Structure 1
């Protein structure tokens, strides 16, 4: 059917050959500027490529974006992550070198357009010191000042007591001594003179001391003398009271009168006279303690900042003496400040204090300013000895638990280039000798994209170069002509440029989306392979017609070979359109691009090639001579094969069934997965992810998350809803008990550990605020939502993590007995699981649909019902066997995962491409039957005439598909191996042996229900 249409098309192409050549050249030139669009629309972001719509991970991602914008990916347009390994941060020398490296990198980044900032553990330490040390210095200065003030106060009280009680005590003691030998009058005069002389030695207040002595001695003299000491003391106390109540003295002593009055309230002359030193100390303590207790500023500083009682502070300050040395004040100040610092940061979730080094740091800070102390602290210490440093929570966001793996995050507000990574590598390489055995890896989405882009393009170039060389060599040997060898390459060039131009325009201006990184490679290799096959097949038929001395070989070649190429290409294009519609992650966009590419190749083969053959004829096969009735390539071998197949058709059929069943068994027992990252090159970015996973107790970069949706809000009128919050805690604790999860963060685990809400309310205000801020970050803008983030113990993409996330619903469901929430799970692992499920489901639906579509096309083209069924079954059997061999190579031998995409893409591609040779054989056999041959003779003729060209075509396509294994990208290598083996099996086993054996058994039913009639 339709053969005559292709005959007419061949005649048209021949008669209008110049116009056709010119039209294709014009189209080539028009599309040439747009060919590069396909590469500009290529995405190298693996994570974004695997998200499937209408999946749980997609729903979770949507909720994350809307309810938790601060947690959603965003912020800077691009970020680079530098991972250092074997760079101990708790070793002074290595730590200093690593800090210098950070400074050197920052200096370079300042010159890079779009650079915004670098976040590193050293930057955070520097910031922590700059933010805290000035406060410590102020507190230290305040402490020293208050201690100084206390000792001065103590000294003042001591002096005042010496004045207030000391002079009267001197008077009494002198009086008592003299009275032993002299009379009372003499004793009074002598005591007065002694006391007056003493008062004149009290500096600064001599006049007041003299007035005080005169006044109290007058009151004393007015009292009745007594020989009783107690009476004399009582009388002197009355004299003191009378003096203090004396208006003239009150006026004269107004500067110290309040203190003198207060002293009188706290102690007595009797106590002082009995024990001057202890009385002075105790009285001073009571007065100072009382003064500070009612002074809000002093009390607040001592109680709140120093975390000390007023009594303890006063005692400690007084204990260093009335005239303390500078060192004693310093030591006491440092002691109080150390305690204060420990107290200030006791509940701070972001800053911690090193109890082993804080004392020495505060000692140093006492004698210098905050700026110098901060700089010196950074220079002289590492993270084992920094006095003040980020908390464990913050620290382990940038330093692994081995204390020798660190992360630097470099942010830009525009996309970065691959040259940036090269510059970073150049800078870090100079430190490899400075820090022995150190390793520096560049990661981050931008870096991974750039690295994968470079590796993909290099891999594509390798595969193309190898494929082109092999195709030119094979075709050149087949036609024995250097000119003929390059004709398929010429047509490939036209097809590649035009296809890429069309695809680029469609994706950029129509679909407004990007394509997967593997799509350009698969497109170009597929076009190279199929174009070469189609061109060689038509050229071979043309050469056959020349050898038959056909008067006009063009129409005959176009009618039969052109029709066969169209039928084959149509099934290929149809298969890929089905793949595109299926919207399978990573591979679907290759469906559209490949369908367009194959369609262009079909048109080129049936028009431009025909025009070239019509224009140049035999010259295209120079220097090979086209002799009449010359044997077909491999004719002797093919004749023997045909005879063997005819005589052993039943045995071959049994072998076919057994091989198929064996392949089916291997295919069914080998597990597939979505472990994509294990099959991309082990670049710096991938190595960095693996190193961080080993050092940070799990997949630090690709954390998953659970979003809970409650029927009641978690926050009502600014207050936490404890009922819902307790359920959140239940889920958090359940996740923490899962061995596959190493860390959990959420509303009640804001810093990776459970937080008691009631306790937080009693923390210092600045600390409580921090806790509430971090807790609220995990509560949605709509407070019915709560997010719990979890870190898997192993990399997010391996089978262990995949199974763990698959089991999370069971863990969550058991967390609470009567949950009032629904939930979704998100993150890379869930995305991979969803993609796997979707792909597996799509695969189970796609293959039958595709088989039916191919059946319809073949039924129409071949005018047969049974042959299309037989073709489809046999090609599927070849695919299963080729996949089984591929599985053994990659899974059992190399220990690599089998991606779910491999069987999907292989079935879709080989179901179409694998039919090529069968179709070429069927169409030739059908042609022979139509021309009057028996079925057996027609099949024999088809094997003999087509055998050489089909083996050449198969070898050619095998070589081109196998060139994908040189790409260096595991995903493409697996697919290349699967496709190459499929072609190899079909070419050398299925086509020459199994297909004709079954055709011979079917006989006339090959064409049923058509009744073959001879060609008129």
Structure 2
């Protein structure tokens, strides 16, 4: 049978069916002919399809199976399970296949698109669906993971919440035990926790009003943990410091009223100075709006203000009401470490101590100079299926799900009567050509490369059939306003990493300038780059501002030039030691990145919190000097009277921050490790040894230009 010049496929099929019905033609052969005809017809119609091509060896066999089998699902399932990709009847083109398949590592990618950013509730539903799919899908030796930016955010949030539920109960128990043992009174421990409860409820309520309602800002996942830990530490420090001074005055035979007058007149000065230092530290940090810690700084400002007001106004009233009952059941002197030998050691070896600790600081600075920071979140998030899948995906396929987005906006229209504006096209093409030459760029997708490989748009738009095939894919890169074009760049680097930032900088340099267009860049790599740029840029400004503010604050309090300089340098020594250990532990040992804001947050926190212990010692030294003691005698008395308290206070705050090491959450671990160690260094080494040694060397120059009246 010869059929000539028949354009309608249905006529052929109808004819073949009629022949079969007449029983004059073998049914199997007829179906073979039908499959062959359909295959050739499809080949001709979609030979220009950019996504896939048909396997000449297996496609006709596939059609025959379909014609001979009424169960289409089973037929297709059988082909997928029992055949290699190269034997499939329909094969993706290489440039499309490489987006979804990494044959080297045996990875297959399925991308699910959403028309909006999913909420937490929707993410939870997605995870449940995924768990069901994972249980129902049984593929030999195959591991299935799910990832995506919304899932990463959700997992981090859940991890932060779980960390909070672990840290705070432990922090409360440890604080209660340390305070109770120090004063040998369970009432004292309970009073400190009650004070913390009042402060934190007030602080969270004010934060909700200021951040949530007034500023309409969402706080980052690290904020609640840091605010709670800092507030617990500061509240414990200030209340224990005031409580200890009251106890000492009572032990010396003073009446309750006299003891409270001394506490409010002398000790409150130390609390005011130290809390103002912490307050202004976070005020300066909040004004710079540092990524990740900008809202945390605002929350800390409110928490510190609440702590200061409560400890200075409410706590003395509570102490007056309770009196000596606060030390029930034993009104003893409490637990105390005799630090007279520490003073004698400092007096005898003051020069050696200063030289040794200065040398350690200089060596630490060598390690600190090697620290490189970046907003590289995935390696630092809590371990989960999402994290494992993300790291696996980024290390093999690259940044396909998190590309670099370049948006080019002009004044004219991109698409005019289904034809591309040549002005746009030429500029977009030049950008894509330049970027595609960069070593670590894997794919560039835009108008003339809708599938990664550059195509001849003249041929595409000159043929209506081909044009209809390609135009929907090209329109994907045109903005809804028809005056902007999107360029997607996939690189071979983990998109949050420093290596990705370096590639991004090359990409930015490769974009030719054109006055007719505005170019915008977005994506997680750009976000990481912006975060690092902002943090690196504002760090010197914040440090200078803090040093200036704290220097002026201390000068007004002590009327001394040397003490503020010495105080800032010794605090920064503890910061240097802590950062050096952070670098050795996390960068060198664990091969983990250091988040760019962690060193800055450490410096800001320590220039505020670290002032506490130094000021507590200094105010007592100054008090004794004003009472007529020599500098040496004043330092000895101050160490004996406040040294133990300072160590206990440092232990309280240091352990509270070190609790952040308990959750398996490296980002929080880094913060807790750095601040916790720095606080312990400050309270157990800097204040008891470094500070007195320097003061013993400086003697009368400690107070210059003032002349303290003895």
Q: Normalization by structure 2: what TM-score?
A: 0.90
- Measure the CA separation in 2 of the matches of 1:331 and 1:410: 39
Give the aligned partner of residue 218 of structure 2: 514
Alignment of 1:633 onto 2:329: no
SS in structure 1 of the partner of residue 145 of structure 2: strand
Count of equivalent residues = 692
Give the aligned partner of residue 770 of structure 1: 469
Superimposed CA distance per residue, residues 179-225 of structure 1 (whole angstroms, 9 cap, x where no aligned partner): xxxxxxxxxxxxxxxxxxxxxxxxxxxxxxxxxxxxxxxxxxxxxxx
Q: CA 1:349 to 1:997, structure 2 compared with 1: closer, same or farther past 3 Å?
A: same
Shift of 1:968: 2.4
Superimposed CA distance per residue, residues 524-568 of structure 1 (whole angstroms, 9 cap, x where no aligned partner): 000011111111101110100010111221111121122211211
Contact conserved, 2:571 with 2:607, CA < 8 A, in 1?
Answer: yes
Shift of 1:643: 1.4
Q: CA 1:623 to 1:147, structure 2 compared with 1: closer, same or farther past 3 Å?
A: closer
Contact conserved, 1:705 with 1:825, CA < 8 A, in 2?
Answer: yes
Contact conserved, 1:867 with 1:1007, CA < 8 A, in 2?
Answer: yes
Contact conserved, 2:496 with 2:524, CA < 8 A, in 1?
Answer: yes
Contact conserved, 1:399 with 1:407, CA < 8 A, in 2?
Answer: no
Alignment of 1:594 onto 2:293: no
Contact conserved, 1:964 with 1:972, CA < 8 A, in 2?
Answer: yes
Contact conserved, 2:278 with 2:609, CA < 8 A, in 1?
Answer: yes
Match for residue 549 of structure 1 among 233, 253, 256: 253
Give the aligned partner of residue 12 of structure 2: 143
Contact conserved, 1:140 with 1:334, CA < 8 A, in 2?
Answer: no
Q: Describe how 1:679-694 pairs up with structure 2 within 5 A.
A: 679-694=380-395
Give the aligned partner of residue 735 of structure 1: 435
Give the aligned partner of residue 576 of structure 1: 282
Shift of 1:711: 8.1
Q: Normalization by structure 1: what TM-score?
A: 0.64
Give the aligned partner of residue 76 of structure 2: 378
Give the aligned partner of residue 752 of structure 1: 452
Contact conserved, 2:167 with 2:660, CA < 8 A, in 1?
Answer: yes
Shift of 1:464: 1.6
Task: Give unpaired runs (5+ residues) of structure 2.
Answer: 1-6
Q: CA 1:713 to 1:975, structure 2 compared with 1: closer, same or farther past 3 Å?
A: same
After TM superposition, the structure 1 stretch with the greater mean CA deviation from structure 2, 494-503 or 818-827, is 818-827
- Measure the CA separation in 2 of the matches of 1:736 and 1:930: 73
Shift of 1:673: 2.3
- Measure the CA separation in 2 of the matches of 1:571 and 1:561: 16
Shift of 1:755: 1.2
Give the aligned partner of residue 474 of structure 1: 178
Give the aligned partner of residue 487 of structure 1: 191
After TM superposition, the structure 1 stretch with the greater mean CA deviation from structure 2, 733-742 or 975-984, is 733-742
Give the aligned partner of residue 360 of structure 2: 659
Superimposed CA distance per residue, residues 59-82 of structure 1 (whole angstroms, 9 cap, x where no aligned partner): xxxxxxxxxxxxxxxxxxxxxxxx
Contact conserved, 2:160 with 2:222, CA < 8 A, in 1?
Answer: yes
Give the aligned partner of residue 132 of structure 2: 427
Give the aligned partner of residue 809 of structure 1: 508
Q: Describe how 1:701-740 pairs up with structure 2 within 5 A.
A: 701-709=401-409, 715=415, 718-722=418-422, 724-740=424-440
- Measure the CA separation in 2 of the matches of 1:1001 and 1:517: 46
Match for residue 861 of structure 1 among 557, 565, 590: 557
Shift of 1:343: 1.5
After TM superposition, the structure 1 stretch with the greater mean CA deviation from structure 2, 774-783 or 654-663, is 774-783
Q: Describe how 1:361-372 pairs up with structure 2 within 5 A.
A: 361-366=62-67, 372=70
- Measure the CA separation in 1 of the matches of 2:42 and 2:426: 34
Contact conserved, 2:382 with 2:666, CA < 8 A, in 1?
Answer: yes
Q: CA 1:619 to 1:692, structure 2 compared with 1: closer, same or farther past 3 Å?
A: same
Shift of 1:988: 1.6
Give the aligned partner of residue 789 of structure 1: 488
SS in structure 2 of the partner of residue 443 of structure 1: coil
Match for residue 357 of structure 1 among 49, 54, 58: 58
- Measure the CA separation in 2 of the matches of 1:937 and 1:656: 24
- Measure the CA separation in 2 of the matches of 1:148 and 1:424: 45
Give the aligned partner of residue 337 of structure 1: 38
Superimposed CA distance per residue, residues 687-746 of structure 1 (whole angstroms, 9 cap, x where no aligned partner): 222233355x21221111223456876555654344653443343233333331222211
- Measure the CA separation in 2 of the matches of 1:993 and 1:762: 83
After TM superposition, the structure 1 stretch with the greater mean CA deviation from structure 2, 389-398 or 889-898, is 389-398
Give the aligned partner of residue 436 of structure 1: 140
Give the aligned partner of residue 947 of structure 1: 643
- Measure the CA separation in 2 of the matches of 1:736 and 1:1012: 71
Contact conserved, 2:378 with 2:390, CA < 8 A, in 1?
Answer: no
- Measure the CA separation in 1 of the matches of 2:359 and 2:332: 43
Shift of 1:485: 2.1
Alignment of 1:456 onto 2:155: no
SS in structure 2 of the partner of residue 515 of structure 1: coil
- Measure the CA separation in 2 of the matches of 1:505 and 1:1009: 45
SS in structure 2 of the partner of residue 572 of structure 1: helix
Shift of 1:148: 9.2
Shift of 1:569: 0.8
Give the aligned partner of residue 895 of structure 1: 591
- Measure the CA separation in 1 of the matches of 2:501 and 2:516: 27
SS in structure 2 of the partner of residue 990 of structure 1: helix
Question: How large is the RMSD of aligned CA atoms in angstroms?
Answer: 2.9
Shift of 1:407: 2.4
